[in-house]
């Protein structure tokens, strides 16, 4: 009678140990979904940026501000900085010229 109880206790302890390990490892990982990860990525202008408008980046619509001049809908841009949920962008062609 005590054999099955011991087996159940060992299995329960192993399960709890695994769950604790998984939680600790999950907390150690660096968050990679932050808006700061957007810097340097490409986006497409959806509404004219003069200087504020909307861009499509990583499959989502974002509020964006053009750093230099008006950027028309459909143009490709590069994300240069972020603040909250707003992206700052420059024309993709300007980014290449600066390099």
Query: Domain map of the chain by residue range?
Result: 1-30, 35-98
Rounded CA separation 78/32 (Å)? 19
3-state DSSP assignment of residue 60? strand
Q: What is the pTM of this model?
A: 0.61
Residues of the chain where predicted confidence (pLDDT) is lower than 50:
none
Rounded CA separation 60/83 (Å)? 16
Span 75-87, pLDDT tens digits: 999 999 998 889 9
pLDDT of 93:
79
Residue 72 token pair:
């028309």
Span 57-68, pLDDT tens digits: 989 999 999 998
Is 35-98 assigned to CATH 3.90.1150.10? no
């Amino acid at each position: 009678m005590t054999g099955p109880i011991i087996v159940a206790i060992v299995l329960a302890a192993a399960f709890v140990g695994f769950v604790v390990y998984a939680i600790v490892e999950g907390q150690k990982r660096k968050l990679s979904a932050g808006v700061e990860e957007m810097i340097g990525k490409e986006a497409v202008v959806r509404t004219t940026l003069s200087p504020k408008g909307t861009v499509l980046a990583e499959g989502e619509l974002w509020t964006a501000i053009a750093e230099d001049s008006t950027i028309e809908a459909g143009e490709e841009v590069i994300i240069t900085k972020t603040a909250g949920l707003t992206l700052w962008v420059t024309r993709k062609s300007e980014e290449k010229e600066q390099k």
